Amino acid sequence: MALVCSSTLSSILSLQSHHLLLDSQTSTTPFRSSFLFINTDNSFSLVCHAKKKLTFFDQILDYIEGGPKLRKWYGAPDLLPKDDTNTQDEEDDYPEDEIRDAVLVTDGDSEMGQMVILSLIVKRTRIKALVKDKRAALEAFGTYVESMTGDTSDNQFLKKALRGVRTIICPNEGFLSNVGSLQGVQHIILLSQQLSVYSGKSGIQSMMKSNAKKLAEQDESVLKSSGIPYTIIRTGAFQDTAGGNQGFTFDQGCAASGSISKEDAAFVCVQALDCVPQSGFIFEVANGQNQVSDWKQCLTALMEKPNQ
């Protein structure tokens, strides 16, 4: 039997269980503070017991250390050899008609970046990620993520990073302000954390947030002038709470006055993949009372509102 449960992964699976069937042999029953066992006959056993509440950083550590278990659960091959022979970049000649089916996550080793990556893994998406520590990313996510390390202001590296990329998800500020051409990309999703909240800060808080606000403003400006279809998601203040326990609100002003679980914010980013606007789409979201059963329908309706 193989132990395959971590608290963060379980909450994300719980969050998505109403929308996805992982495969014909995978249970979609939500579980939390539990251990899921895969028996030798491919049956499942769920053993529940109480345990102390983990901090957010404990949860991050849980799913980083749970990488090998996650790969075993999904049937992925082992990590590449330690000499890193097979992780070298390929030649630079890319066909003009290359298939673009990958999602590139910027800042992939940040808290939000890793949350987004986990949601993409559950969605069975081809994932590329910009990271600072390539070996750590391999240990965490294995072959489910093509991790890349380099200077995004270097056009040659950027070209390699964007090979096969259809959509870019930016979970933090700063990426768009420092890159050159994004030719070939068909959709950019920016988690704008979150101009309305930054604008409401005063005193010391305002000074602490001023750089983040500046980067957010620069990113949004670059994005709006890029000519690439974009989605800007403005969220309420981030909370270190488990996702999937609350509904949502999209009311105007909710970003400034509300809050949202980080896991829920990552989940919303991934749902936005299936709703590509003609040009630009900006919406606010926070945790609320509304339960969303069809995210594509929900986001399409928001997109069609006159004030969007």
Structure tokens at 165: 């990329």
Query: In this structure, are residues 274 and 294 in contact, taking their beta carbons and an 8 Å threshold?
Result: no
Of residues 295 and 32, the one with the higher pLDDT is 295
Q: Hey, where are the domains in the chain? A: 56-63+98-304
Mean pLDDT within 237-265: 92
pLDDT at 164: 95
Which of these ranges, 47-56, 140-149, 191-200, 297-306, has the smallest mean pLDDT?
47-56
Confidence (pLDDT) at 179: 87
What pLDDT was estimated at residue 27? Answer: 36
Predicted pLDDT at 85: 40
pTM of the model: 0.71
Confidence of residue 181 (pLDDT cuts 50, 70, 90): confident
For 116-147, how does the pLDDT look when each residue is reduced to its tens digit (9 = 90+)? Answer: 999 999 999 999 999 999 999 988 888 899 99
In the chain, DSSP assigns E strands to 2-3, 34-38, 44-48, 102-105, 126-130, 145-148, 165-170, 187-192, 230-235, 237-239, 247-249, 259-261, 280-288
Q: For the stretch 44-55, what's the b/e string if a residue is b when 16 or more beta carbons lie within 10 angstroms of its beta carbon?
A: eeeeeeeeeebe
**Which amino acid is residue 205, in one-letter code?**
Q
Q: What is the pLDDT of residue 289?
A: 93
Please tell me the predicted confidence (pLDDT) of residue 196.
Answer: 55
pLDDT at 156 over 70: yes
Hey, is 125 helix, strand or coil?
coil
Phi and psi at 134, nearest 5°, equal -65, -40
Average pLDDT, the chain: 75
Task: Give the whole-angstrom CA distance, residue 149 versus residue 260.
Answer: 30
Fold held by 56-63+98-304: Rossmann fold (3.40.50)
Predicted pLDDT of residue 36: 41
- Percent of the chain residues topping a pLDDT of 70: 62
The confidence score (pLDDT) of residue 145 equals 95
Cα 110-112-114 angle, rounded to 5 deg? 65
- The whole-angstrom separation of Cα 26 and Cα 212 is 41
Cβ proximity of 118 and 189 under 8 Å: no
Give Dmax (Cα) for the chain: 61
Helix (H, G, I), strand (E, B) or coil at 117: helix
pLDDT of 208 > 90? The answer is: no
Q: Is the per-residue pLDDT at 50 higher than 50?
A: no
Burial of 11 (0-12, 13-18, 19+ CB in 10 A): buried
Confidence at residue 293, expressed as pLDDT on a 0 to 100 scale: 94
Residue 128 pairs with which residues in a beta bridge? 104, 146
Distances (CA, A) of 248 to 7, 193, 303: 22, 17, 16
What is the average per-residue pLDDT within 155-180?
A: 92
Average pLDDT over residues 245-265: 93
Report the alpha-carbon angle 51-55-58, nearest 5.
Answer: 85
**What pLDDT shows up at residue 198?**
58
Instruction: Compare 3 and 173 and report the one with higher pLDDT.
Output: 173
- pLDDT of 140: 87
Give the per-residue pLDDT at 142.
86
Residues in Cβ contact with 206 at an 8 Å cutoff, skipping those fewer than 6 apart: none
pLDDT at 92: 53
d(CA 154, CA 286) in angstroms, rounded, equals: 36
Question: Are 286 and 259 a contacting pair, CB within 8 Å?
Answer: yes
Max avg pLDDT among 76-85, 110-119, 173-182: 110-119
Structure tokens at 4: 């395959």
